[in-house]
Every structure is written in structure tokens, then in C-alpha cells.
Structure 1
Amino acid sequence: MKFICEKQKLQEGISISSKAITGKTTMPILEGIYITATKEGLTLIGSDMDVSIETKVEANVLEEGMLVIDSKIFGEIIRKLPNSQIIIETLENEIMQITCEKSVFNLVYMNGEDYPEIPKINENLSVEVQQSILKSMIRGTSFAIAQDETRPILQGILFEVKDKNLNLVALDGYRLAIRNEFLDNDSNIEVVIPGKTLNEVSRILEDVSEIVKITFTNNHILFNLSNTKIISRLLDGKFVNYSSLLPQEHKISIDVKKQNLQNCIERASLMAKDSNSNLIKLDVQDDTLVITSNSQLGKVREEVSVNLQGESIQIAFNSRYLLDVLKNIEDDEVVLEMTSGVSPCVIKCKNNDNSKYLVLPVRLLR
């Protein structure tokens, strides 16, 4: 194998493909990047068997071939080389030589034929979404993925295509995040994608209007960007019936400027940090929301103007759960809907119906 490639292009390809390499494997070959060189250019693959990322890199291939090279040392070497052309070729005794200007590295490589086969996806059932929209939807839900392993299905995000809508849903038992966008597609799809996969997808997606094609099988999902493919296994099992968790009615509605509320909660939460619950109390009277927090460190009181419809209410929350929601809402004004101090709070945009969040309150000891 022998090829010539621009350093920046090769470095970008290594960065993308190595996102799937976790280092938590009993197969040493999976700690490497699988490189194939053909007349069309280079293909780089990284995988941990659950997630595989394949990306194409422009190169002048003088001699075709394939090999596997340790991703960590290869990535470090390429990153530190001058911004110039790199020549990579295989020598005898499974040695790969990297030459760039006056730098020469000789590395031991592994046999490409020993690399596990990547799942083949038949691209029949598919949907298409703008990259920027999908990136925003993942960002707006992934924070609510369950972190504990007692219910594996909740470590994923529900990816649902229904009634010409794409819905992404995540919940962890304390909060629920729903994002939806119109999708001109009549398919009915319901799969659960590991949260880890979607976070990697989000890092590769760009804030552009270009399309990402998403294809499904019974066990896998494929995200096809122009030069990069991400293949992931799906989680087994049925996701929670999330629509049954949403209250059908409310007695209290509070309109508030999102940034004002977020700033007040961020300041109030400084006093709540010495407890695991990050407890803050909200007291709504007329058109004023008072936020307080008491701890061994001291106490704090914040006020923010609101528009209240309904009765006054006192309710307490884990401040982190509220802040996660507010940081991911893209509207300037939010609406908080409640029924009592012990029932869930629904938070949504005032001027946009593409997101809905539910947060459970903390019960206060009387």
C-alpha cells in the first residue's frame, strides 16, 4: 500500500473514525483504525462493535492495500506532523512508514483481513433530515438519558416517525424531553438508539442544511452523511409509553422570559450545591416568581417577573433539571404548566410547539 495525502484531510478522517474507538475491548484490533486504499481514495473505519464510523478521505493512491493501525499513536503522529503532504507506504515485516518533509516514522501495523466485518445495511427503509435540525433535536433531548444501567432501554433515545413527524424522546425517571419536527415521510418507525451513538452523531453533524439519510434494519441504524457513515446497533426492548406521562390538563400557567429565569436559577443554585438534590424553591404570587435556596453555606433569594394564570403555588425542584431544560430551549419565552406542588411541571416554548419537557418536583417535608 502506498498513498500521498494532505495532512489536514487525513487528520480530520482519523478524528472522525476514531470517535467509535472506545478502548474498552478485549479485541486489540478494535483499538486500531482500519484503512483501505483504492483508486477512489482512502476509507477509514473505527468500531467498538456497537458503533462503527466509516469516513472517506481524498488521497493519491499509488498502490492499493489495507491494514489496521493503532488509532492513538497514529492520530498523535499525524497531528504533530507539519502541515504538508504525507506519504504512507507499507514495508516488509508489517511495517508502515510515514514520511512528511524531514520526519520519518516506522510503525508496526496489523493485518486488515483480521478486522471484524462491519454490518451491511440495505438502504431501503430510510428517512431524510437536515443536519442542523437533527443536531438540534439530539442536543435538545440527550441530556435526559438515564445514566444508571438498571433500565438499559432508558440509556437510549426513542427515534419515532409517526404522522409525518419525527419525534426524539428521552427520559430518566425524573424528567422527560420531547423534540419533534415535521417530516415529509409516511413511514411508521419506532426504534431506540443508544445515547452514546447519538452524541457521537451530534459531534459529526454540522449546522448546515445538507441532508443526512437515516436507514433502519431490525437491529441497526445507519446515518449517511456525504463522506461519512455511522452504523449503530439498536437497543432491544420497548420504550416507555411517554405520551401517557404527560398531564392532559393543568390549573396554573406561568409565562416568563427564558433568560431571566435561567439567570435567577443559576444564581440560586450556587447555594444548593452542597446537597445532592440541588434543591431550590419556587413561590409564585401574582406576577412575581420568588426563587429561594437555603443550605449550610447560606441562603439566597431571587425575583423574576412572570405572567401568572391561575392560583399561586409553592413548588421545589432539583435546579440542575430545570437548567438542563432552559439551556436547551431555543425560544426567548417559556411557559410552565402545573397543577399542584407535588405534580409534574411541563415546560414548553411560548412561540413554538416543537419541544416539550416534563420535570418532577421535589417533595418538601412539612
Structure 2
Amino acid sequence: MRIQVDQNSLSNHISVVQKGISNRTTLQILDGILLETVNNKLKLTATDLEIRIETYLDCDIIEEGAVVVDSKIFGNIIKKLPNAPVNINIEENNINITCESSEFNILGNPASEYPELPTIINQNSFEIPKDLFKSAIRQTVFATTQDETRPILTGVLLEVSNGIGSFVALDGYRLALRSIPINLKEDIKIVIPGRVLGELNKILDDKDELTITTAPGHIIFDMGDTVVSSRLLEGQFLNYKDIIRKEHKTNLRVDRKKFQDSLERASLLAKEEKANLVKLNIANNEINIKSNSEIGNVNEQISSAQEGEDINIAFNSKYVIDGIKAIDSEEIELFFMGSLNPCIINPVEDENYTYLVLPVRLAQEDY
């Protein structure tokens, strides 16, 4: 195999496929990137057998071929080369890399040792603007759990019904729901691994459309030059619709940034071993935010537009702050149904995003 390729373009494409390589792989070959010439382009492939990333870039092909090269070594070499044409010459898995006055010789592995990837038969396909998809990921994926004992909750549910796609993530303490229009006649209900969506969010730009294809047990994200495919998570996702209650006794309208800043200051004295606890006393159109620990205590007060009963309630400050950060609007609404029931947070005049967080149970005299 002999090719000439632009250094900057190759380095960027290596960075993309490296996101498909897991640190926990038991197969040494999966630490590598498969390089192969396909249809007058250089194709790079990386997989951990759960996620697969393929990306294509233009190059001058002098001789066809394929090889597996260590991802970290190859990536570091290409990144440090000058921004000039890179010549790659491979003979019997010996890889010679030259660029201007630099020359490297490294050992690769036969492409035949790279695992065969399953053929995925497409079932449903739809297009979605990349910026809309990115915002749906950003507003939900943070609420997935990292607890591997509940694997179904490490993913985001995508439920499409009547032309509306609902992205849902929950971890047992909070729930994030974002709805967007999706032009698909069939109804689907799948759970996408959170790690895949997190990596996609780093790869996607904000331009043009993204094509998503679902197949039994798999999902494919086609961005043109780059294709990401992944296994879907198996299992029964919780019935999130039963968790989001419509009735409430208290609702507040508050400036999002001021509320976030006050919570962040209060959380400075909230200890992790005490669930990052902050207490909210809501009365007379004011929210009094308290936090105390052995170090000291803090009191924050902000004004709000209140309707309904006064309430004392406590939260893990991290969970509330995470949800508020995901909201773009200047004002938010908070809905309460008592100190032991979840709080629902919505952007003002936007029904497409809902965030729900469970309170921490405290005795009344602890407020």
C-alpha cells in the first residue's frame, strides 16, 4: 500500500475514529485503526465491538492495500508532523511514514486479523438537522446513569410516535426529556448507549442533515464522510410518562441564570458525602437557598413569581444545577407537589423540554 495524504486532514480523521476505541478492550488488535484504500479514498475504521466508526478522506493512491496501525502511536506521529503532504508506504506490515524531513518506521498488523464486522440490514431511516440532534443529546445524555448494574439506564430512550421524537434519560434521581419533530411514519422505541451519543456530540458539526438508520439491535448515524454505528441496549426502559405528573400545588417563575448562580454558590459548602444537600424555603415570592456543613453555612435569596402554597424542600444541588444548565431560555418554571414529590423544571414558553428531579427527604425541623 502506498498513498500520499494531507497531514491536517489525516490528523482530524484519526481524532474522529479514535473515539471508537475503548480503554477496556481485551483484544489488542482493537487498540488499532484499520487503514484501507476504498473507492479512491483512504478509509479509517475503529471499533470496540460495541461502537464502530468509519471515516473517509481524499488521498492519492499509488498502490492499494490495508493494514492495522496502533491508534495512539499513529495519531501522535501524524499530529506532530508539519502541515504538508504525508507519504505512507506499507510493505509486509512495515509502515514507513515520511513528511518533509521527518521519517518514521513502525510495525503494523495484518488487516486480516481485524475482526469482521456484522452486516447491518437497514430497517427505518430518517433525516434530522445536526444542530437539533446535538441539542437533544446535550439536554438529555448527562442524566444517564454510570451504574453498570442497571445497563438500560446507561442509555437514552428514543421513542418516535406520530412524527414526534422523544429523547429520554433517567438515572433514578432525575429525568430529562426533549421532544423534537422527526419525519418518520413508523413508530420506533430504542435505547441508544449514552457513550455513543456523547462521542457523536463531539464529532458532529452544526451544518446540514444527519441520516439515522435503525436496524434490529443496531443504529447507524451517517454524516457523509463519517459513519458511526452502534449496538442498541436491550431491556425494558422505565415508563417515564407515569413519572411526570401534571398536577401541582406550587409553581415558580425565576431567572435561570440568577437561580443557577445562587445554587452554585450554595453548593460550595455542600458536602458530597451529604448528597450535595441544599435546602429551599419558598415563600412570599422569594426562594431562600441554604447549605451548611462542618465548614460553615451559606444563605442565598432570590426573588421569584410564586403561585400556590409555600414549601420547604431539599435537593442534591448537582442534580438541579445540571438540569438548569441544559436549558437555554432566560426564565424557567418550577412545579412542586409537596416536599416529598419530584420537582419539574421547564423553560418558560417551551413545552419541548422537561427536567424532573427527586428531592432529598428531610424532617421539617432540619430546614
User: What SS does the aligned partner of 2:69 have?
Assistant: strand
User: Equivalent of 1:253, from 235, 251, 254?
Assistant: 251
User: Corresponding residue for 1:104?
Assistant: 103
Mapping of residues 239-250 of structure 1, within 5 Å: 239-250=237-248
Amino acid aligned to 1:226: G
Deviation at 1:39, TM superposition (A): 4.8
Q: Does 1:174 align with 2:176?
A: no
- Seen in structure 2, the aligned counterparts of structure 1 residues 23 and 274 have a Cα distance that, compared at 3 Å, is closer
User: CA–CA distance in 2 between the matches of 1:39 and 1:239?
Assistant: 41
User: Corresponding residue for 2:30?
Assistant: 30
User: Corresponding residue for 2:355?
Assistant: 357
User: Corresponding residue for 1:42?
Assistant: 42
Contact conserved, 2:285 with 2:303, CA < 8 A, in 1? Answer: yes
Deviation at 1:94, TM superposition (A): 2.2
User: CA–CA distance in 2 between the matches of 1:325 and 1:262?
Assistant: 10
User: What SS does the aligned partner of 2:190 have?
Assistant: strand
Deviation at 1:183, TM superposition (A): 1.7
Amino acid aligned to 2:78: I
Deviation at 1:122, TM superposition (A): 3.0
Q: Give unpaired runs (5+ residues) of structure 1.
A: none
Q: Alignment RMSD, CA only? A: 1.1
User: CA–CA distance in 2 between the matches of 1:195 and 1:183?
Assistant: 20
CA offset digits 1:188-226 (Å, max 9, x no partner) = 010011111111111111123x11111111111000001
User: What SS does the aligned partner of 2:273 have?
Assistant: coil
TM-score when normalising by structure 2 = 0.97
Amino acid aligned to 1:25: T
User: Corresponding residue for 1:320?
Assistant: 318
Q: Give unpaired runs (5+ residues) of structure 2.
A: none
Amino acid aligned to 1:4: Q
Contact conserved, 1:38 with 1:61, CA < 8 A, in 2? Answer: no
User: CA–CA distance in 2 between the matches of 1:156 and 1:38?
Assistant: 33
Deviation at 1:111, TM superposition (A): 0.6
Contact conserved, 1:157 with 1:168, CA < 8 A, in 2? Answer: yes
User: CA–CA distance in 2 between the matches of 1:157 and 1:84?
Assistant: 42
User: Corresponding residue for 1:121?
Assistant: 120
TM-score when normalising by structure 1 = 0.97
CA offset digits 1:118-164 (Å, max 9, x no partner) = 23233341121111111111110011101112211011110111121
- Seen in structure 2, the aligned counterparts of structure 1 residues 337 and 295 have a Cα distance that, compared at 3 Å, is same
User: Equivalent of 2:275, from 263, 277, 282?
Assistant: 277
User: CA–CA distance in 2 between the matches of 1:341 and 1:246?
Assistant: 16
User: CA–CA distance in 1 between the matches of 2:66 and 2:85?
Assistant: 20
User: CA–CA distance in 2 between the matches of 1:89 and 1:21?
Assistant: 24
User: Corresponding residue for 1:57?
Assistant: 57
CA offset digits 1:54-90 (Å, max 9, x no partner) = 0001111111111100001000100111111100011
CA offset digits 1:269-312 (Å, max 9, x no partner) = 11113534101011111111110111111111111110001011
User: CA–CA distance in 2 between the matches of 1:41 and 1:88?
Assistant: 14
Contact conserved, 1:274 with 1:296, CA < 8 A, in 2? Answer: no
Contact conserved, 1:25 with 1:48, CA < 8 A, in 2? Answer: yes
Mapping of residues 282-321 of structure 1, within 5 Å: 282-321=280-319
User: What SS does the aligned partner of 1:229 have?
Assistant: strand
Contact conserved, 2:67 with 2:93, CA < 8 A, in 1? Answer: no
Mapping of residues 73-112 of structure 1, within 5 Å: 73-91=73-91, 93-112=92-111
Contact conserved, 2:152 with 2:237, CA < 8 A, in 1? Answer: yes
Amino acid aligned to 2:124: L
User: CA–CA distance in 2 between the matches of 1:276 and 1:106?
Assistant: 55
Runs of 4+ more than 6 Å apart: none
